[in-house]
C-alpha cells in the first residue's frame, strides 16, 4: 500500500483578498506561515513521510519547506505538474473586478483559463506515476486547492462530485493494487 498525503499551501495575501492566483507566484503571508507551522507540528506528531514533493510555486514550496524543516529532511522534488490551475486573464482579479471587466457571463468567455479536465488529468497522472515510483512509501504532496480538488474528482468521482480544499488542509489517499481510497478529507484539525 502506498499512502499519499495531499496538502494545500498556506494562505497568501491574494487568498485573503479573494484574488485568483492561478500560476502567479504569490508567497505565503504571516498567517500562511503560521498555518504551515501548525500543520508541520501536527504532521510530526502523527506519522513519518518518506518523500515530500511540492509544486514549484513559492506558496507551496514555502509550506513544504516548513514541513521538511520540522522533519529534519529535504524536499525530494519540485514538480510543475502539480501547480495550480492556470487562470489566464483572470489571475490577480477579484470576482467584482471580473464582473466589471467582462460582465456576469465572464465564465463563458475564453479568457485563457486552463480547462478543468486538463488540470484533473495532470494531477491524476502525477499521482499514478508517484505511486509507481515510490511504491509502498508515504508520499506528502504540497500543492494547490483546484489541483487537489479536481484530481480527487478524477480519481474518486463517486466520492467527490464536488470539492472544497481549505488552506493547509490534509487529505489522505491510499493506493492498494491500483485502487484509490480516501481515508481523510480536507482536515484542518491543527487550527
Q: Active-site residues: which are they?
A: 9, 84
CA atoms within 13 A on the CB side of 94: 8
**Which of 161, 147, 158, 179 lies closest to 171, judged by CA?**
147
Residue 151 marked ligand-binding: no
Residue 13 marked ligand-binding: yes
Residue 59 marked ligand-binding: yes
Residue 144 marked ligand-binding: no
What share of residues in the chain are helix, strand, coil (percent, to 5)? 40, 20, 35
Residue 11 marked ligand-binding: yes
Residue 14 marked ligand-binding: yes
Provide Rg for the chain, Cα atoms.
16
Residue 10 marked ligand-binding: yes
CB 145 within 8 A of CB 84: yes
Which residues neighbour 42 within 8 Å (Cβ) at sequence distance 6 or greater?
Answer: 170, 189, 190
From the annotation, which residues make up the binding site?
8-15, 59
Binding positions for substrate are 8-15, 59
Amino acid at each position: 500500500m502506498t499512502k499519499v498525503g495531499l496538502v494545500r499551501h498556506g494562505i497568501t495575501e491574494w487568498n485573503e483578498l479573494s484574488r485568483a492566483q492561478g500560476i502567479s507566484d504569490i508567497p505565503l503571508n504571516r498567517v500562511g506561515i503560521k498555518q504551515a507551522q501548525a500543520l508541520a507540528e501536527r504532521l510530526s506528531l502523527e506519522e513519518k513521510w518518506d518523500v515530500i514533493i511540492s509544486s514549484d510555486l513559492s506558496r507551496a514550496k514555502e509550506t513544504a519547506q516548513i514541513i521538511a524543516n520540522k522533519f529534519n529532511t529535504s524536499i525530494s522534488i519540485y514538480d510543475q505538474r502539480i501547480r495550480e490551475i492556470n487562470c489566464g486573464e483572470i489571475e490577480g482579479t477579484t470576482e467584482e473586478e471580473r464582473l466589471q471587466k467582462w460582465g456576469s457571463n465572464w465564465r463563458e468567455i475564453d479568457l485563457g483559463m486552463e480547462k478543468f479536465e486538463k488540470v484533473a488529468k495532470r494531477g491524476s497522472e502525477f499521482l499514478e506515476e508517484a505511486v509507481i515510483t515510490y511504491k509502498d512509501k508515504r508520499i506528502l504532496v504540497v500543492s494547490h486547492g483546484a489541483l487537489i480538488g479536481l484530481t480527487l474528482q478524477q480519481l474518486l468521482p463517486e466520492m467527490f462530485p464536488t470539492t472544497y480544499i481549505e488552506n493547509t488542509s490534509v487529505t489522505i489517499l491510499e493506493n492498494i493494487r491500483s485502487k484509490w481510497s480516501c481515508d481523510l478529507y480536507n482536515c484542518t484539525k491543527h487550527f
